[in-house]
Amino acid sequence: PSWVIRILQAVVVNETCLYGFVVGSALMVSSQADCFAFSVRDGATLIVYLFQYCPWGFFLMWFSHSEVGSDLIPGDTGGVAQYSRWYLLMILVTKVLLVLTKRSNFPPSIVLALLVVGLVSFPESGRISATSDCVEPTGLIQFLLCWVLPEGIMVERKWVSPMLLYYATIMYGQAMAGRAGKCLPRPQATSWRAVYSVACYTLSALLGFWYIGFVYPTDGTETVEWPDGAVAFVSNPRIDNKVAVIMLTMAITVPVVQVALVFAAVYYGPGDRAKQVAASWVSATMLGTYLISENLNFGNWVIQVIFMVCNCQCSDMHGLAQLAAAGMLLIAVSLSFGLLYQMLLLRMVVPSVLRGISWLSERIKAALHSSDGRLPDSSESDIESSQE
């Protein structure tokens, strides 16, 4: 049935998942003591960012002293796609803003105002290229620029909006969540808590259902989505009329309200122990699932599962079974590919790189202090903290 696709678009495809990911990550960061200072976690984020777009071809050629082809910097089909790297870059850039804001005592409201100006002024999709050729980079500087910024510096509205939400959540999210927890009614009866939870999640789904039906006929796709444009520079109509302002406002506020309703549904949901277990599994799989999702062709998997249940003249009961099958597929992918990839990144790649950096720093310090023969102590605690 057509309503199955509409529900999947309303609940899974639109910006609600992205903004929920951003808000959840920001709330976890805001609860850490080193929220406004650089730490080993930021180094781990940078390592994962570089690993997501690692130029394996260049290193293979360098180690083997032979040519392995012209595609030294992998494109969308080479290695792990760089599609999802923008999120990690957004976290790093926002962390720099947070540190500068704290150390300079700069008012966060002014930073938010500047981000809002960028949100309105920037085009929907735009790049300022860091280098002219990232297929066959010449020279170390061009190679490093292509590795760090393969598609240039993003100056686009759909990149600033998650950054604005991430920064605002870190600054004010904990206070707003605490105030909401005090203001929202919380019935003691388990049955009523379940009713409140189902009502909040139903409202979120209905809001997304209405939003998809309103936006798609108007724009053909989401008004604001993650930066995935293949065109180097595309300038959408300016925000200079009432309709454009309304569309931009809805594109941000509707997903944010959906996220708030989902959080309220979790807040009201009974079974605190079950929610803690679910939260631990989400924390263990969320990042890995997002970073590897582009390589899994997940959209086609969902379509295949839906057609396996019913592919012609489907009844409403078939539609419910299709939704259940799509949900089970999402859980299975998260608990398999997402979990394994996150373990690969945080338990193998990041610790190995940090140990290599520690070993190299020890060798350098040993060379500098070779006269007295003393070696500095290694910092294993930094490696352990990066795995948390």
- Lowest-confidence segment of 39-53, 216-230, 370-384 by average pLDDT: 216-230
pLDDT of residue 81: 43
Residue 204 structure tokens: 């979120």
| Bridge partners of residue 189, in order along the sequence | none
* pLDDT tens track for 321-379: 888 888 898 888 888 888 998 898 888 888 998 888 888 888 888 887 775 555 445 44
* Whole-structure pTM value: 0.76
Residue type at 137 in one-letter notation = P
Q: Which two tokens stand for residue 212?
A: 């998809």
The pLDDT of residue 228 is 42
Of the ranges 8-17, 165-174, 189-198, 373-382, which one carries the lowest mean pLDDT score? 373-382
Task: Return d(Cα 292, Cα 229) in angstroms, integer.
Answer: 18
pLDDT greater than 50 at residue 380: no
Residue 154 pairs in a beta bridge with 127
Q: How confident is the model at residue 136 (pLDDT cuts 50, 70, 90)?
A: low
Residue 74, pLDDT above cutoff 50: no
230 pLDDT band (50/70/90 cuts)? very low
**Mean confidence (pLDDT) of the chain:** 75
Q: Do the beta carbons of residue 337 and residue 294 sit within 8 Å?
A: no
Q: How far apart are CA 22 and CA 11, in angstroms?
A: 16
Residue by residue, DSSP assigns 115-160 as: HHHHHHHS-SB-EE-S-S-SSS--SHHHHHHHHH-TT-EE--HHHH
> Rounded distance, CA 91 to CA 115, Å?
15
CA-to-CA distance for 226 and 15, rounded, in angstroms? 8
- The Cα–Cα gap between 147 and 73 comes to 7
Question: CA 226 to CA 221: how far, in whole Å?
Answer: 12
For the chain, how many residues are written?
388
Q: According to the model, what pLDDT value does residue 80 have?
A: 38
Instruction: Output the pLDDT for position 68.
Output: 42
Pairwise CA distance, residues 170 & 180, whole Å:
16
CA neighbor of 156 nearest in space, from 74, 56, 264, 233: 233
Do the beta carbons of residue 209 and residue 8 sit within 8 Å? no
Cα of first residue to Cα of last residue in the chain, in angstroms, is 44
Q: What is the pLDDT of residue 120?
A: 80
User: Strand, coil or helix: what is 234?
Assistant: strand
pLDDT at 199: 92
Q: Name the strand (E) or helix (H) holding 32.
A: none
CA distance 69 to 91: 33
Buried b (16+ CB within 10 A) or exposed e, 144-163: ebbbebbbbebbbbbbbbbb
For residue range 18-34, what is the model confidence (pLDDT) as tens digits? 788 888 888 888 888 88
Position 316 scores a pLDDT of 82
DSSP string for residues in 41-88? HHHHHHHHHHHTT--HHHHHHHHHTS---S--S--TTSSS-GGGHHHH
Would you say residue 257 has pLDDT above 60?
yes
Look at residue 13 in the predicted model and tell me its pLDDT: 55
pLDDT tier for residue 77 given thresholds of 50, 70 and 90: very low
Residues 21 and 258: beta-carbon distance below 8 Å? no
Cα–Cα distance measured from residue 218 to residue 216, given in angstroms and rounded to the nearest whole number: 5
Band (167; pLDDT cuts 50, 70, 90): very high
Q: 147-156, pLDDT tens digit by residue? A: 777 666 666 7
- The span from the CA of 70 to the CA of 58, in Å, is 9
pLDDT digits (tens, 9 = 90+) for 273-289: 888 888 888 888 888 88
